[in-house]
Amino acid sequence: MRLLLKSMIAAGLLVSAVPAGHAVPLLEPTLRLKPHEDAATPPRVALTLDACGGKTDNRILSALVENRIPATIFVTGIWLKRNAEALEIMKAHPDLFELENHGGHHVPAVDTPRKIYGISTAGSPDAVAAEVEDGAAALAKNGQPAPKWFRGATALYSPSAIALIRKLGFKIAGYSINGDGGSLLSAKETARRVAAAKDGDVIIAHINQPTHAAGEGLAKGLMELKAKGVNFVRLDDADGEGTDDTTD
């Protein structure tokens, strides 16, 4: 078991902190961009933002547009239905925003019934497939290119769900820095975590909680990174150079 755990950690699969008592441990894949070969080039960081449901944090959206910071936005079918105005802004800046698949209904991609942070999982392989395919269909319905990346609600997966998602043709969008702790962190702590990003980091944060303090901190942290000369990239720009650590 210890050896298995060790090799899982080596493969970038972190065993989650979800309490034991369930048969299958959930996985929280990490994702990093490959380090630069030329140390003289500016550090590269990928900003990924989840739009789970709810509304749009315009503090973040305007900061990205005004400062020309590209980002990969993981949208659900629910969010797309309720945020037409924000979607138009993103569509008007195709050079900045890459939209990817965060599922149809924001249901965790776990194929056995259980609860994660109080949210019921998809619960079966068919329901995981439906969540993934409904998310892609919602993007297509809104005139978006076919998504290549999938990030499930809560970013936790059962190992068999990961295999299934890959079979459906998607790469799993892990991350290396949890920027806003599910949008629940203070502005100060969010800014600190985001500003600490180094070359190759993939930041996860949220763009759907306009009333939370974390959004203010995210905008501040991004400004600090920009001032340091960080080059922001989207997951599709990094594709080919990036590594999805879970593919081993």
**Per CB under 5 A, 28 contacts Zn ion:** no
Q: Of the two residues 52 and 187, which places its CB atom closer to Zn ion in the complex?
A: 52
Asked if 124 contacts 108 with a C-beta cutoff of 8 angstroms, the reply is no
Q: Tell me how far, at minimum, the Cβ of 77 lies from Zn ion, in Å.
A: 12
Q: Of the two residues 52 and 162, which places its CB atom closer to Zn ion in the complex?
A: 52
Q: Tell me how far, at minimum, the Cβ of 216 lies from Zn ion, in Å.
A: 20
Q: Of the two residues 96 and 107, which places its CB atom closer to Zn ion in the complex?
A: 107
Q: Under DSSP, is residue 99 helix (H, G, I), strand (E, B) or coil?
A: strand
Q: Of the two residues 43 and 135, which places its CB atom closer to Zn ion in the complex?
A: 135
Residue 149 CA neighbour count, 13 Å, CB half: 26
Q: Tell me how far, at minimum, the Cβ of 31 lies from Zn ion, in Å.
A: 16
- At a CB cut-off of 8 Å and minimum separation 6, what does 243 contact? 31, 32, 33, 34
Residue 171 pairs in a beta bridge with: 149
Query: Which value, to the nearest 10 degrees, does the dihedral of the CA atoms of residues 9, 12, 18, 19 take?
Result: -10
User: Tokens 């439906």, residue?
Assistant: 130
Nearest-CB residue for Zn ion = 52
51-80: contacts with Zn ion (CB under 5 A): 52
152-191: contacts with Zn ion (CB under 5 A): 153
Q: Tell me how far, at minimum, the Cβ of 2 lies from Zn ion, in Å.
A: 33
> How many chain residues bind Zn ion (CB under 5 A)?
3
Q: Of the two residues 176 and 209, which places its CB atom closer to Zn ion in the complex?
A: 209
Report how many helices (DSSP H) and strands (DSSP E) the chain contains, helices first.
Answer: 9, 14
Residue 99 pairs in a beta bridge with: 73
Among the listed ranges 28-36, 42-50, 85-93, 161-169, the one in contact with Zn ion (CB under 5 A) is 42-50
* DSSP result, 105-123: S-----SS--EETTEEP--
> Pick from 13, 27, 31, 50: which binds Zn ion (CB under 5 A)?
50
Instruction: Tell me which residues touch Zn ion (CB under 5 A).
Output: 50, 52, 153
